Amino acid sequence: MKILVLNCGSSSIKYQVFAMEDESVLAKGVVERIGIDGSFLEHKAIISGKETKVEQDVPHHNKGVSLVFDILQDPEFGVLESIEDLKAVGHRVAHGGEAFPRSTPVGEQELEKIKDLSRLAPLHNPHNAAGIQVVRELLPRVPQVAVFDTSFHQSMPEKAYIYPLPYEFYEEMGVRRYGFHGTSHKYVAQLAAREMGQSLDDLKIITAHLGNGASITAIDRGQSIDTSMGFTPLEGLVMGTRCGDIDPAIVPFLQKNKGWDAEKIENVLNKESGLLGISGISNDSRDIEEAAESGHDRAQVAVDIFCYRVKKYIGSYAAAMGGIDAIVFTAGIGENSDIVRSQSLQGLEFLGIEIDQEKNKVRRKMAEISSAGSRVKVFIVPTNEELVIARDTHELVNGPS
Ligand code: AMP
């Protein structure tokens, strides 16, 4: 059974085709610069290894999805005889609010709800919904499934998701903590439990998804009980260009002292802060680590703040769960940076966490990096959000395998 996974952003569409018999990827690619000059599609057929780049005007998502369908049936680069070979399409959807505690098949009602949730995720949900709508028009008989970044965290208790603000903000506007990266946190926790030969239901795990966006989650017996991102993906850890936790009083302070409006402040906190803002050189942790090693002071401060905050969250989640059995690092920085892993865990021996510096040198592959005597297991687990979307889609279309 072949499943297409789509991740529709504001100006891009990422896609992968899976053969669910062995969960292999048949093709993957991206349409970039939708609605902007210079749009193109980059595509790779995995088995043949054939790659192509198609430069073409893509004024809207409709055209983008059509291009993807064309290349998937192309005699040279395609992986499908006919687009009808697709038995389902799974979509990554940013925000499911409280309406979607799990992945769901998408009919008219669900699509309307996803659109309605655009008020909570104005930069993402409208494009996710547009992708669903286009596929409905082009392939009306193919079932579609939405998989939400927020669903996994719907198990958080009130004490973790209610902000200490007037309660009406929650009741009237849905201002609460939702959390994101849910598919990734769930996936890597499941793999770590399997590696430990134990059921997720018996374990207390902290998963650190450290990429350009970063979040950390406390998973108590399979349930997310707290996570660092909140109402939006701006809360929590230091990120590439996002500030994470700051004193909210800084916002009115900037308004008064700089004369900035809401849009300007939002832009600074989302796009000019984090590793980029502190270091002044880059949002990419590779550049920062290199610069820090060659003596760039602010790059070193950026690494130190990033790791210090990861460490503080680990401590607080250990307290929230009353212990930890495993810590999992994933995503670009978590999978690659031995410096960040090592520095974030330094000094946590009192919690039974010790890593083996030799084992920690590994990159981008599943590995246990804790020392033999460490009571808490520490893992690197490469994340695979597309596979989770394909699996959920398969299960919702076919029933559990
Ligand atoms: P993601 O958002 O998961 O794609 O992760 C992007 C982040 O991973 C960027 O900050 C990259 O610099 C970082 N990253 C990727 N490869 C490495 C590496 N080899 N060492 C350190 N950071 C890396």
Residue 332 — pLDDT band, cuts 50, 70, 90? very high
The predicted-structure confidence for 190-238, as pLDDT tens digits, reads as follows 999 999 999 999 999 999 999 999 999 999 999 999 999 999 999 999 9
Residues 249 and 324 in one domain: yes
| Confidence at residue 223, expressed as pLDDT on a 0 to 100 scale | 98
Residues 111 and 209 in one domain: no
Output the CA torsion 263→266→272→278 (10° steps). 140
364 C-alpha vs ligand 1 centroid, how far in Å? Answer: 10
Do 212 and 139 lie in one domain? The reply is no
At 66-109, the pLDDT tens digits run 999 999 999 999 999 999 999 999 999 999 999 999 999 999 99
Catalytic, out of 149, 220, 325, 392: 149
Among the candidates 148, 177, 209, a domain finishes at: 148
Domain of 117, in residue numbers: 2-148
Residue 306 pLDDT class (50, 70, 90 cuts): very high
pLDDT tens sequence across 140-181: 999 999 999 999 999 999 999 999 999 999 999 999 999 999
Please tell me whether residues 201 and 143 are part of one structural domain. Answer: no
238 and 98 part of one domain: no
- Kindly give the number of the ligand 1 atom that is closest to the alpha carbon of 331: 3
Q: Is the CB of 337 under 6 A from ligand 1?
A: yes
The rounded mean pLDDT for the chain is 97
Q: Whose CA is nearest to atom 9 of ligand 1?
A: 284
Domain match, 277 and 352 both? yes
* CATH number for the domain harbouring residue 70: 3.30.420.40
Length of the chain counted residue by residue: 401
Give the pLDDT score at 123: 87
How far away, in angstroms, is 287 Cα from ligand 1 center? 10
Whether 26 and 141 map to the same domain: the answer is yes
Q: So what's the pLDDT on residue 110?
A: 98
The answer to the question of residue 158 being in a domain is no
Q: Is 211 part of a structural domain of the chain?
A: yes
Instruction: Kindly state whether residue 302 falls inside one of the protein's structural domains.
Output: yes
Residues 59-64, mean pLDDT to the nearest whole number: 93
**Does ligand 1 have an atom closer than 6 angstroms to the CB of 286?**
yes
Atom of ligand 1 nearest to the CA of 210: 3
Q: How far is the CA of 288 from the centre of ligand 1 (A)?
A: 11
Q: How many structural domains compose the chain?
A: 2
Whether 149 is a known active-site residue: answer yes
Residue 331 CA to ligand 1 center (angstroms) comes to 7
212 falls within a domain: yes
Distances (CA, A) of 350 to 212, 275, 324, 378: 30, 29, 12, 15
Last residue of a domain, one of 83, 118, 148: 148
Residue 401 is assigned to a structural domain of this protein = no
| Strands, sheet with 86-93, edge to edge from the N-terminal-most edge strand | 51-55, 40-45, 24-32, 13-19, 2-8, 86-93, 144-148, 104-105
Does residue 144 sit in the same domain as residue 230?
no
- Would you state the pLDDT for residue 401? 61
Q: Decide if 157 is inside a domain.
A: no
Q: Does residue 400 surpass a pLDDT of 80?
A: no
Inside any domain, residue 242: yes
In a domain, 366, yes or no: yes
